[in-house]
Structure 1
Amino acid sequence: MSVNRSVDHCKTPSDITYQVLSWVMVGEFTLGLPLNLSVLYIFIFRYKFWKNKAIFLFNIVVADFLLVGCLPFKIHHYQHNLRRSEDTVLCKIMLFMLFLNRGASIAFLITMSLDRYFNVVHLGRRNFVKVFKKSPQISVIIWILLLPLTIPTMVTTFECCNSHGRVKETYLHDVTDTFREIVFFSQIIIPYIILVYCTVRIVNRLRKKTVGEKTKLRRAVCLVTSVVVVFSFCFLPCTIARAALLFVRLKNWQDAENIAVQWYDALMVLSYSDCLLDPLIYCFSNSGFKDVYISTFSGGRSADNLNSSDDI
């Protein structure tokens, strides 16, 4: 398929739509920056995450900061009627950061959910995830393993950071673009299936437990349910929109693509709200963190005297 030179795919198909989306991101950035700064402060200076087995939670905070740091650039581009930066290097760096944020957030959220699953459904058996939580090196390894899945965004030059289905591709170009799309879809669909499975098993386990054990188990249900809700709200809609966009692009339906692009970009902006929703997961997953956070900013009991715990 040859490139349609009459269409500038880097320009926004509707200026009004992208002006609105830019202001939505302004709101996400305005709320997300102080929220995540406060969470980071608590984790480092009050909660001391390395002592309370909350290393995975801390890594989610770091991943959220990668996203928050990208939002001002996205806002600038949308307000100047550009879907992506016209600078090729900046364009690729932005996609790299967004892919890395998404992959890291999902990886650590899945790890937390699996930990709750083994603690509840397979209580008494060796929990390999719990062993990982005690080793900071495991978090470093997870970040390193994410790099091969993120590098394809920077391997080759592609029009507006996405040429799949738009240009006549070389073998390397085709493999790179295809691999990038596989990563995009698999990192959402596969974890979502795992989350749903863990949620169903934990809920079934809860029904069989005695009354005295149900308090902690309900926390586990709240955690995995909240993660599923975040996935369903933030990631699934843009994944479906991505599939629709690729379909109309491969069919070379330009008018339909203009509409699909707007829906996809709008739902991607919606997905950025995970930096606002993730702190809710921190509270569900660890009551110790919640107590420290509330006591610090409400002037209650001394956070240093609170009993931090790693809940089921």
Structure 2
Amino acid sequence: MTLTIGIQLEGVILPPVLTIDVILGLLGNMVALWIFCFKLKAWNPNNLFLFNLVIADFFALVSLPLRIDALLRGYWVFGDGLCRINLFLMFSNRSASIALMTVVAIYRYFKVVHPHHCFNRMTKRQAAYVSVFVWLLVISPRVPMLAYSHIKGRANSTQCFFFTSYKEASRGIIILVGMHRILTVLEFIIPLAMLLFCSIRISSFLKERQMGKKDKVRKAMHVCAAIVTVFMVCFLPTTVTTIGVWVIRSYRPWDCTAFYTFTQLTIVSFGLNFLNSALDPIVYVFSSSMFRKALCSSLPRTLCCGRGNETPESTSGTQSTSQDELKSMRASRGSEAM
């Protein structure tokens, strides 16, 4: 009976959620990719980090249609090789998205709070090195997933799942699952702490230096709160359910019902992970004035009502590293941070 409830929970909730993620994510990220490749007249480190975030989102989005098909059919038909690649892309996207969002937040923090720090003199080549390092950092722990088969069952009962009791699995698989659970928790808690720190410091910095501009302070604080909220909504459920699976397996190994319930909730919560791919284009708009201006210049005038009235004071406040924006930011003591 528990098995039936679990399959219904997963099969009913995930397909529509993942379909919405794919549709919104592809639309938003295709527009973002077009802006980055054809509309931006100049690149800076911030835009390079955001471009890598687009690539990470595409990795996830191309993996989701296979997962949706398997959920609708009730079984996996694409074989062992695509199962490994599918799981690798899904989990790598989560790690890469979190890492790159954290890098963008840290970069913005230094641009706003410490405008004279040497970190702000980062070149495009150095930013490329940072991006490569981030990719290696997040992909390396996931590579072992490609070395093991995750296919369970046969014929019309074949499943491609990373989460299982693994009573029949090798010690290598058990260690791999344990590493995954540790990473899932750490890669949420540590970046969340950094995001909160950066957001609070930016908000307090702006508030101290814009005593007469309460609307701008409020707007900046709302943007910071929105980024943290999106992060919490997309990644907190997976972290909580993963901890639940971990605790039950460690302290209540006989409770199969609870273990299976949390396992199914963990799988379902990954639908929210990929909602991040649909919401990231909003991050691009808030985080790069160059991206925002390129987008507005590409839209019909009626869809970009504030376009004609934008000034450096109202449109900057991002991590843009162009000299004009940096001078403007320093002249106003960081008042254009959002």
| TM bin (shorter chain) | 0.7 to 0.9
Partner of 1:256: 258
Q: Secondary structure of 1:54's match?
A: helix
Q: Secondary structure of 2:43's match?
A: coil
Contact 2:49 2:131 in 1 (8 A): yes
Query: CA RMSD for the aligned pairs?
Result: 3.4
**Structure 1 residues 169, 132: closer, same or farther in 2, change over 3 A?**
farther
Within-5 A mapping of 1:202-281: 202-211=202-211, 221-250=221-250, 251-281=253-283
Matched, 1:285 2:287: yes
Partner of 2:85: 93
Shift of 1:144: 2.6
What is the aligned counterpart of 2:58 among 65, 72, 86?
A: 65
Distance 2:163 2:44 in 1: 46
Contact 1:164 1:174 in 2 (8 A): no
Matched, 1:27 2:20: yes
Matched, 1:196 2:196: yes
Within-5 A mapping of 1:290-305: 290-299=292-301
Distance 1:86 1:12 in 2: 25
| Structure 2 unmatched runs, 5+ | 153-159, 326-336
Partner of 2:132: 140
Matching residue's letter, 2:258: A
**Structure 1 residues 193, 59: closer, same or farther in 2, change over 3 A?**
same
Matched, 1:78 2:71: yes
**Structure 1 residues 269, 13: closer, same or farther in 2, change over 3 A?**
same
Matching residue's letter, 2:93: N
The alignment's TM-score, normalised by the length of structure 2, stands at 0.76
**Structure 1 residues 38, 239: closer, same or farther in 2, change over 3 A?**
same
Distance 1:85 1:128 in 2: 50
Tell me the alpha carbon deviations over residues 106-155 of structure 1, each in whole angstroms, 9 at most, x when there is no partner: 11111111112222333322226844676433323322332212213223
**Structure 1 residues 101, 192: closer, same or farther in 2, change over 3 A?**
same
| Structure 1 unmatched runs, 5+ | 1-6
Partner of 1:113: 105
Shift of 1:220: 5.9
Contact 1:21 1:266 in 2 (8 A): yes
Matched, 1:44 2:34: no
Shift of 1:165: 5.1
Distance 1:221 1:119 in 2: 16
Q: Secondary structure of 2:14's match?
A: helix
Shift of 1:259: 2.6
Contact 2:234 2:273 in 1 (8 A): yes
Distance 1:163 1:104 in 2: 21
**Structure 1 residues 67, 53: closer, same or farther in 2, change over 3 A?**
same
Contact 2:25 2:279 in 1 (8 A): no
Distance 1:101 1:49 in 2: 27
Shift of 1:266: 2.1
Matching residue's letter, 1:33: L
Distance 1:169 1:188 in 2: 28
Q: Secondary structure of 2:167's match?
A: coil
Contact 2:36 2:51 in 1 (8 A): yes
Shift of 1:78: 0.8
Matched, 1:167 2:167: yes
Shift of 1:86: 7.0
Moved more, 49-58 or 159-168: 159-168
Distance 1:266 1:16 in 2: 8
Contact 2:164 2:263 in 1 (8 A): no
Contact 1:111 1:129 in 2 (8 A): no
Moved more, 251-260 or 123-132: 123-132
Distance 2:214 2:110 in 1: 16
Shift of 1:226: 3.0
Distance 1:225 1:133 in 2: 31
Contact 2:188 2:235 in 1 (8 A): yes
Shift of 1:32: 1.9
Moved more, 266-275 or 161-170: 161-170
